[in-house]
């Protein structure tokens, strides 16, 4: 069937299309050329409406052990937002740690068509993919966490060559079905197991003698040499520590020009000035990002209210436990692989620190010049649940709205921020870059995030509204792979998205070292660690999409 979307105002930054009236044709889930005979089967009149590709959340904790700990731990989080079953949808619950089913429905209802879990422990990949497999409509994928795993640290401590590290990284990506590589508090999760309580960029792991800087360089190099499009995804050292700004700058400048993505950088942009010994470092951070074209960042904006923080960073999460609200929390050491910490948290607008965190996030958005290199996230659910994205978009697009809220926040925090002086308002085109074209490019999705002929027909259509929160909350239509799944903001069809992966090539001789390692030290066999393609496909509902590697990677 050929469907014509007639007369929409198209924002397609991947093709430099900025608010041009264009027709779009869909057939068999793809965007196709206009038919030469002018014939089509169905027409949807979208004249005057805003047309974009489906939005892509490049960093959202939607699946895996720590997310499920958060769900299980917080019945009270769900109680106020239980979701009844309908003819179409399964029951579930929403808010900070929503059920997988409800998460998929709500993403789609907001016009999102893909979300990427940023912290898949290799050993827990099976669970992460099970949960994402139960997340309807949206596409998904994940970044596999390395950097505190003992195998890598052993290789580095014994001066293993880069080639061997590349093989190990590619092997791990392949068998945990990942599209990227993430490092969380590089080496720090491991150091915490040896009772180290902090690990700065050049501080040594007491057992291995390896520093976070070494780990970042090795992994960033591996990702580049393997041709993995998504740059090394970095949750840096010292998350949340006042004064971490210097480490963050050193991390960005010290990567020697290798591609690197700094995630939830808001949490890493703190100075120590002022009476509260807590100040904004966003200006310095933005300046470094602006200068270094190899660096990208997502913000990890905080918004006020109750949420839960779920992170692989067991070291930093443990130190945050005195702030748990409600007062319960989990920290784990996991399988000589990594760890996690789950700490519920309530961001308060009358707290100096929380108010300033809110300002630091927005300052970062507004001071990074290039929307292709900064991404819209709340680090769901760590800064706020993903359902607050429309609100966040309005904060970026509407200075009056932003200033109105700013004026209600902790007065000392207002004095400590120059947010009020920032005039910038994001345009629809820039929002489309940040949430579509840029995100797809960053994750490495060749066929998503744009409206080119041949691309997947993931399309979101909005009614233009000066109230951007309202506009982005309820799209008129959402198409997922060509199927209309949302109409007038309501879900009308449930589909199951694909799982995006890359398959970098590696020399299988790495298994000569891995097999005895598993046999000697692990409690699972190497062969049973590996996740097969069949596990993603499962009972036929799931599917695997292998995205292309960058040129330069081995084919």
Residue 406 as a binder of another protein (CB under 8 A): the answer is: no
**Interacting residue with another protein among 9, 12, 52, 100 (CB under 8 A):** 100
Q: What is the per-residue DSSP string for 240-276? A: T-TTTHHHHHHHHHTTTT--EEE-SGGGG-EE--TTT
Q: Do residues 118 and 233 make contact, with C-beta atoms less than 8 angstroms apart? A: yes
Q: How far is the CB of 311 from another protein (least distance, A)?
A: 15
Nearer residue to another protein within complex by CB, 317 or 435: 317
Q: Do residues 436 and 55 make contact, with C-beta atoms less than 8 angstroms apart? A: yes
CA 191 to CA 148: how far, in whole Å? 8
Residue 347 as a binder of another protein (CB under 8 A): the answer is: no
Considering only residues 247 to 306 of the shown chain, the ones binding another protein according to CB under 8 A are none
* HSE-CB for 452 with a 13 A CA cutoff: 13
Q: How far is the CB of 307 from another protein (least distance, A)?
A: 15
Here's the x/- map for another protein, 66-95, by CB under 8 A: it reads as: -xxx-xxxxx--x---xxxx----xxxx--
Nearer residue to another protein within complex by CB, 21 or 80: 80
Considering only residues 172 to 211 of the shown chain, the ones binding another protein according to CB under 8 A are 192-195, 207
**Interacting residue with another protein among 143, 168, 171, 329 (CB under 8 A):** 329
Stretch that binds another protein, among 51-59, 330-338, 350-358, 434-442 (CB under 8 A): 330-338
Q: Do residues 302 and 383 make contact, with C-beta atoms less than 8 angstroms apart? A: yes
**Interacting residue with another protein among 9, 126, 233, 450 (CB under 8 A):** 126
Residue 98 as a binder of another protein (CB under 8 A): the answer is: yes
Q: How far is the CB of 125 from another protein (least distance, A)?
A: 9
**Backbone φ, ψ for residue 505 (5° rounding):** -80, 150
Q: How far is the CB of 94 from another protein (least distance, A)?
A: 9
Q: How far is the CB of 56 from another protein (least distance, A)?
A: 22
CA proximity to 289, closest of 201, 369, 186, 378: 369
The SS3 assignment for 233 reads strand
Position of tokens 């700065």? Answer: 200
Nearer residue to another protein within complex by CB, 68 or 307: 68
**Interacting residue with another protein among 327, 350, 408, 508 (CB under 8 A):** 327
Nearer residue to another protein within complex by CB, 275 or 539: 539
**Strand-pair category, 483-487 with 279-280:** unpaired
Residue 532 as a binder of another protein (CB under 8 A): the answer is: yes
Rg, C-alpha atoms of the chain? 22
CA 291 to CA 285: how far, in whole Å? 10
Nearer residue to another protein within complex by CB, 101 or 108: 101
Q: What is the per-residue DSSP string for 400-434? A: HHHHHHHTTS-HHHHHT--GGG------HHHHHII
**Interacting residue with another protein among 6, 15, 127, 483 (CB under 8 A):** 127
**Interacting residue with another protein among 26, 123, 237, 289 (CB under 8 A):** 123
Q: How many C-beta neighbours within 10 Å does residue 325 have?
A: 15
CA 404 to CA 223: how far, in whole Å? 43
Q: How far is the CB of 347 from another protein (least distance, A)?
A: 20
Task: Copy the structure tokens of residue 354.
Answer: 């929380």
Q: For residue 201, how far is the Cα from the chain centroid?
A: 23
Task: Give residues in contact with another protein (CB under 8 A).
Answer: 63, 65, 67-69, 71-75, 78, 82-85, 90-93, 97-102, 121, 123-124, 126-127, 130-131, 134, 150, 154, 192-195, 207, 318, 321, 324, 327-337, 342, 520-525, 527-528, 530-532, 535, 538-539
């Amino acid at each position: 069937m050929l469907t014509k979307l007639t007369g929409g105002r198209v924002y397609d930054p991947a093709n430099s299309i900025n608010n041009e009236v264009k027709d779009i044709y869909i057939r068999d889930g793809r965007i196709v050329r206009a038919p030469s005979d002018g014939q089509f089967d169905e027409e949807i009149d979208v004249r005057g409406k805003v047309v974009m590709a489906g939005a892509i959340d490049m960093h959202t904790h939607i699946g895996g052990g720590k997310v499920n700990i958060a769900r299980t731990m917080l019945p009270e989080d769900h109680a106020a937002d239980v979701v009844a079953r309908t003819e179409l949808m399964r029951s579930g619950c929403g808010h900070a740690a929503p059920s997988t089913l409800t998460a998929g429905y709500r993403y789609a209802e907001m016009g999102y068509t893909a979300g990427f879990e940023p912290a898949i422990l290799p050993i827990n990949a099976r669970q992460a993919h099970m949960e994402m497999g139960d997340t309807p409509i949206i596409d998904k994928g994940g970044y596999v966490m390395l950097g505190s795993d003992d195998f890598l640290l052993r290789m580095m401590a014994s001066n293993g060559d880069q080639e061997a590290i590349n093989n190990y990284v590619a092997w791990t990506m392949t068998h945990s079905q990942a599209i990227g590589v993430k490092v969380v508090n590089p080496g720090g999760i491991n150091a915490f197991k040896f009772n180290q309580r902090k690990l700065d960029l050049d501080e040594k792991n007491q057992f291995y003698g390896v520093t976070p800087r070494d780990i970042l360089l090795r992994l960033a190099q591996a990702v580049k040499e393997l041709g993995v499009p998504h740059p090394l995804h970095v949750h840096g050292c010292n998350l949340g520590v006042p004064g971490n700004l210097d480490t963050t700058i050193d991390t960005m400048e010290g990567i020697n020009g290798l591609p690197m993505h700094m995630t939830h950088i808001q949490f890493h942009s703190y100075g120590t000035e002022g009476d509260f010994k807590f100040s904004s470092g966003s200006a310095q951070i933005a300046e470094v990002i602006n200068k270094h074209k190899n660096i990208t960042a997502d913000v990890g904006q905080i918004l006020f209210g109750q949420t839960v923080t779920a992170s692989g960073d067991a070291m930093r999460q443990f130190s945050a436990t005195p702030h748990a609200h409600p007062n319960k929390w989990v920290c784990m050491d996991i399988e000589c692989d990594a760890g996690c910490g789950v700490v519920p948290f309530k961001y308060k607008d009358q707290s100096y620190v929380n108010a300033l965190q809110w300002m630091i996030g927005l300052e970062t958005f507004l001071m990074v010049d290039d929307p292709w290199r900064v991404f819209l996230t709340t680090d769901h659910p760590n800064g706020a649940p993903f359902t607050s994205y429309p609100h966040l978009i309005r904060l970026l697009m509407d200075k009056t709205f932003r200033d109105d809220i700013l004026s209600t926040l902790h007065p000392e925090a207002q004095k400590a921020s120059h947010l009020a002086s920032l005039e910038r308002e994001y345009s629809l085109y820039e929002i489309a870059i940040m949430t579509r074209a840029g995100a797809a490019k960053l994750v490495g999705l060749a066929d998503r995030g744009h409206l080119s002929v041949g691309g997947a027909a993931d399309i979101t259509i909005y009614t233009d509204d000066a109230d951007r929160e309202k506009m982005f909350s309820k799209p008129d239509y959402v198409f997922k792979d060509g199927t209309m799944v949302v109409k007038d903001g309501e879900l009308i069809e449930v589909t199951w998205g694909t799982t995006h992966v890359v398959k970098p090539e590696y020399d299988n001789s790495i298994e000569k070292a891995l097999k005895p390692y598993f046999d000697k030290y692990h409690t699972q066999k190497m062969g049973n660690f590996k996740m097969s393609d069949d596990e993603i496909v499962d009972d036929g509902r799931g599917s695997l999409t292998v995205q292309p590697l960058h040129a330069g990677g081995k084919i």
